[in-house]
Structure 1
């Protein structure tokens, strides 16, 4: 018997030191998988970016080593690592071994980082805690400081040497720990994407990627946008945008709530319209906002408001027409925003969305004001924007109506199919597996129903000889319940123009509900005629089914040959003769095979329906014109031609005549 665990005062414990990250990496990095490992890398990169943004250094180098270790090197002031009188500890302890410690908390009253990407004081310490090892080299105050950490703990002591050449900067190399992350193999493409994005929003800063391809051999790639998002937008828009790129900047001050402190926001927005490309990207304090948040909401509100206002004032809407929505604008808008604020509320530590209300309000108000002025001063561009947005809107509404109508028709069609008299559906909804057997009469339906695999084989009986679709006109064809029911069950509609087929949809192969359409009739003259009439119907109403290879004929045996306890099935006179030859000298019995309705289920499954043993002949009209000509000759109105053909070729089929 399992002893029950107690839950008392001694049950409560807390994680300390490196265990706060190593045992719960998902809390800090959003994941304990590759995505979390990537975010840890970005935390270190963020510190280098903050230095460059503060005006210290114009080159940041990221190295991806073959052993999956990572190095970030900047030309900043160098991270403070010496003694901190105020805290009574070394700064390296605070930066690399203490969560929520750093130099970016009092941004409003500090000249260090006015607009900082790394605000939470987690990055350096959390990444160090999550590393197999981390080597830190800091150059500042004419000295070089070296630190070595292993699995969250300092190994040895800080080493200090005098610099021969006076320069500053930080170099951090670490190996993510597989005891913390399930995967540490960050692909080179991730580095390229991150550094390219950072080059976009950090104008004039070069981001260099070095990938080790062989021991000591590196491939180098630089990312630089001298004018930031202005150059990036021009690159995205190409040579033929609908409107010329525009870049707007401003600074605002405000609060997220009346009782909250005031902070600064710097807005930088570049945009244009294009009928070739559309893209919207938002960045905040250099971080790419994959999920947007406040700036995305501001963009949606402002552009819809300003364009809708222009459309109304210039009578662009038709009477009773609904107003535009953001997807109509988005389909032709290319916009990149790179904003900064002295206080930022991220949704979480992964920084993929921000929630600042003032950022949203300030950006929305600024865009509205600027767009209204732009529409007045750029009349031709405003007309192009308005017309394109309306085209997008009306196209969307037409497509939506079409989608709803199609869905309605499909739903109705399936409902009708389920109500078609004597139609037997199969269970699976996987069209690639579904087969429909068109069988001859109710008795054959009963036999096939007992022998089929109900998972993927459906049945549709035809009652007697159906209408000759080559001799009948369309109104008469579509008055036939047998034909219309069969076409409804197939689901693909008919290739007939006009109103004759008003109860059936226009042909669409994508709506076919079956992977195989199998014609299954008796192997006698009547069965052959019914098979021909069904083929004729398909050929006239939906020939694409035959051309695309969806139509099959199930061969049924003509003879049963029994010898002792063994039975052979022969599908032709030739096959019967071969079996009889093998049984020469033995006592055997040859019976004409019964009709489908008289066969027992085991035989039906074995000879006609089992995919492993049945014989299916795919109907492939290699020459459609020849097929049409023969169908027309034998079943059409050309009586003299048919008479001549029978007189010339009838002798070849005398043995098949069913005469009493």
Structure 2
């Protein structure tokens, strides 16, 4: 193999702009096409809104207007406005901004002066206008390069307006999902009481912060009055749900949603344990106190340290002691003032302890009968790399996936075409048990449910998950859809935190193949099929009912770089539990009526 020469000519220095466009993942995490809540187009929107919210935090401007139409995003705030002489620098020169000054911004997320520069560099068009004291300064860019500037006088109130279009050269044929944007905007509203955000002419505002957030998530399912506390640097809320497993947390730092938690979330959990144990004068185990809990924490830190530019996990260690202390004291104060709620909480922990001991007995028997098969699991074709396994192969570990398939035919097709380094396959025998409303002990009484849990590594929580994505890959027929629902019920009943972490997906495979001797088109809907038939002369049409019907030589492309995945997400735990009960619970007259009305 010919070797290229490695000399001075191969050393390159990229400008900051070129580096952002060449390595966008370092700045916004991922590109994507808008089908996932963490896709890059939503990060661009977040970076711009963050600046407007930072103005509100510092006491300037209580309204923000956001408009998204035809892939054009416009954000207008009524803060102080960028200083007119620095408008171009602030959106185009890396490490330029006022976020380094405690006098101007005390609790800002955007501490590194990169955010809007990345938006500018990754947009086909980007315009920023600053209004101050009856004057304005405006600059327009294309892919980060300055196109035009303007200054003058105008009657507009002080503030900043940013408008941008994400670059299709980078993001492809993307589209904004309005539900994802609304969810993010609600996050801003909960964390900034008094802030009003107008999104496409509808106003979002919260009066009670994290209490409103939890109330929306759990509603009437809360076992007792939601415990809520707010001070200058910390706000938290939590409650327990009856019949829920695991722990679910919403955590924030300076308004930034830290999906992967961090030191503040760990301290919050420790404070809950200490507060409850101290009040009840017990020494309960952490899992007994926290099983079934739903909590939210938001803190303000002057110098937050995150593990990456996308700020998903906080690393500051010096905050632990004061968070633990504040959480513990606030919980004890609440329980002293609310003895009825304290009694309900006490009973929940006792029930958790009883269930854990019962579960441990069942676990013991299940493990003995399984002879600690560990990862030598029947029907599992494993891959080499796993989530969190290696720092030297971090990208491969994060890319690792497991396909949950039905039957040997489908799993055989995937197994023959998969990437053995990053793609694992777990084959189900058919329809699994409907676990809605059943205790967690059912997992240990059912070999298939148990093997699936051990294969994923989630017995002790989502922290042990062995794959970056868990992908449900079932046939596109009634049986396949039923198995898909049974699997989603399994995860939403016992491993809700895996779904909330954005790790569960559904694989989309083509329903039709339309082809002639010159051309082949794969179609994912009847409309696409009809369009393909109209365009391809003398075509033959094949309907794929099952994954096993697709030739492995063809199938490889559907789980390769062009893989199409639908993320499984939930609007709120309260709504999710109602939906599960309706579709997967007892066969009520309402469900029978629904089936009859929609049978055709």
TM-score (norm 1): 0.53
What CA distance in whole angstroms lies between the structure 2 residues aligned with 1:13 and 1:106? Answer: 33
What CA distance in whole angstroms lies between the structure 2 residues aligned with 1:26 and 1:431? Answer: 34
Give the 3-state SS of the residue equivalent to 1:70 in structure 2.
strand
Deviation for aligned residue 1:310: 4.5
Q: Which structure has the greater CA radius of gyration?
A: 1
Indicate if the aligned counterparts of 1:250 and 1:267 stay in contact, CA closer than 8 A. yes
Indicate if the aligned counterparts of 1:200 and 1:228 stay in contact, CA closer than 8 A. yes
Where does structure 1 differ by over 6 angstroms across 4 or more consecutive aligned residues?
A: 507-511
What CA distance in whole angstroms lies between the structure 2 residues aligned with 1:197 and 1:166? Answer: 28
State the partner residue of 1:81.
Answer: 84
Indicate if the aligned counterparts of 1:204 and 1:227 stay in contact, CA closer than 8 A. no
For structure 1, which runs of at least 5 residues remain unmatched after alignment? Answer: 83-90, 211-219, 252-265, 318-322, 419-428, 435-489, 491-506, 514-660
Q: Which residue of 71, 76, 101 corresponds with 2:74?
A: 71
Q: What are the equivalent positions in structure 2 for 1:67-216 lying under 5 Å apart?
A: 68-82=71-85, 91-107=86-102, 110=103, 112-156=104-148, 158-163=149-154, 165-182=155-172, 184-210=174-200
Is 1:343 equivalent to 2:303 in the alignment? yes
For structure 2, which runs of at least 5 residues remain unmatched after alignment? Answer: 34-38, 379-403, 410-428, 430-444, 452-600
State the partner residue of 1:213.
Answer: none
Indicate if the aligned counterparts of 1:70 and 1:173 stay in contact, CA closer than 8 A. yes
Q: Which residue of 262, 265, 275 corresponds with 1:296?
A: 265
State the partner residue of 1:384.
Answer: 344
In the comparison of the two structures, how many residue pairs are matched? 381
Farther-moved stretch of structure 1 (383-392 vs 242-251): 242-251
State the partner residue of 1:450.
Answer: none
Give the 3-state SS of the residue equivalent to 1:370 in structure 2.
helix
Query: Which deviations, in whole Å up to 9, do the C-alpha atoms of 1:443-495 show, x marking residues without a partner?
Result: xxxxxxxxxxxxxxxxxxxxxxxxxxxxxxxxxxxxxxxxxxxxxxx9xxxxx
What CA distance in whole angstroms lies between the structure 2 residues aligned with 1:344 and 1:271? Answer: 24
State the partner residue of 2:27.
Answer: 28
| Inter-CA distance 404–137: structure 2 relative to 1 (3 Å threshold) | same
Give the 3-state SS of the residue equivalent to 1:341 in structure 2.
coil
Q: What are the equivalent positions in structure 2 for 1:514-529 lying under 5 Å apart?
A: none
TM-score (norm 2): 0.58
State the partner residue of 1:360.
Answer: 320
| Inter-CA distance 246–143: structure 2 relative to 1 (3 Å threshold) | same
Deviation for aligned residue 1:181: 3.2
Query: Which deviations, in whole Å up to 9, do the C-alpha atoms of 1:252-292 show, x marking residues without a partner?
Result: xxxxxxxxxxxxxx111223344377742111111111111
State the partner residue of 1:16.
Answer: 15
Q: What are the equivalent positions in structure 2 for 1:26-65 lying under 5 Å apart?
A: 26-34=25-33, 35-65=39-69
Indicate if the aligned counterparts of 1:139 and 1:168 stay in contact, CA closer than 8 A. yes
Indicate if the aligned counterparts of 2:273 and 2:290 stay in contact, CA closer than 8 A. no
Q: What are the equivalent positions in structure 2 for 1:369-380 lying under 5 Å apart?
A: 369-380=329-340
Deviation for aligned residue 1:382: 2.6
Query: Which deviations, in whole Å up to 9, do the C-alpha atoms of 1:39-65 show, x marking residues without a partner?
Result: 122111110111122222222122111
Deviation for aligned residue 1:231: 3.0
What CA distance in whole angstroms lies between the structure 1 residues aligned with 2:9 and 2:405? Answer: 57
Deviation for aligned residue 1:174: 0.9
Q: What are the equivalent positions in structure 2 for 1:276-425 lying under 5 Å apart?
A: 279-311=248-280, 313=281, 323-326=284-287, 328-409=288-369
Deviation for aligned residue 1:241: 3.6
Is 1:270 equivalent to 2:241 in the alignment? no
What CA distance in whole angstroms lies between the structure 1 residues aligned with 2:67 and 2:11? Answer: 43
Deviation for aligned residue 1:185: 2.3
| Inter-CA distance 433–138: structure 2 relative to 1 (3 Å threshold) | closer
Give the 3-state SS of the residue equivalent to 1:275 in structure 2.
coil
Q: What RMSD in Å do the two structures reach over aligned CA positions?
A: 3.2
Deviation for aligned residue 1:376: 4.2
Deviation for aligned residue 1:21: 0.6
| Inter-CA distance 433–160: structure 2 relative to 1 (3 Å threshold) | closer
State the partner residue of 2:391.
Answer: none
Deviation for aligned residue 1:104: 1.0
What CA distance in whole angstroms lies between the structure 2 residues aligned with 1:36 and 1:145? Answer: 28
What CA distance in whole angstroms lies between the structure 2 residues aligned with 1:379 and 1:289? Answer: 33
Indicate if the aligned counterparts of 2:87 and 2:128 stay in contact, CA closer than 8 A. no
What CA distance in whole angstroms lies between the structure 2 residues aligned with 1:349 and 1:183? Answer: 25
Indicate if the aligned counterparts of 2:99 and 2:110 stay in contact, CA closer than 8 A. yes
Deviation for aligned residue 1:142: 0.6
What CA distance in whole angstroms lies between the structure 1 residues aligned with 2:124 and 2:152? Answer: 26
Deviation for aligned residue 1:7: 1.8
Give the 3-state SS of the residue equivalent to 1:155 in structure 2.
strand
Deviation for aligned residue 1:404: 4.1
Q: What are the equivalent positions in structure 2 for 1:439-588 lying under 5 Å apart?
A: none
Indicate if the aligned counterparts of 1:136 and 1:171 stay in contact, CA closer than 8 A. yes
Is 1:5 equivalent to 2:4 in the alignment? yes
Higher RCO (C-alpha 8 Å, min separation 6): 2
Indicate if the aligned counterparts of 2:87 and 2:138 stay in contact, CA closer than 8 A. no
What CA distance in whole angstroms lies between the structure 2 residues aligned with 1:412 and 1:236? Answer: 38
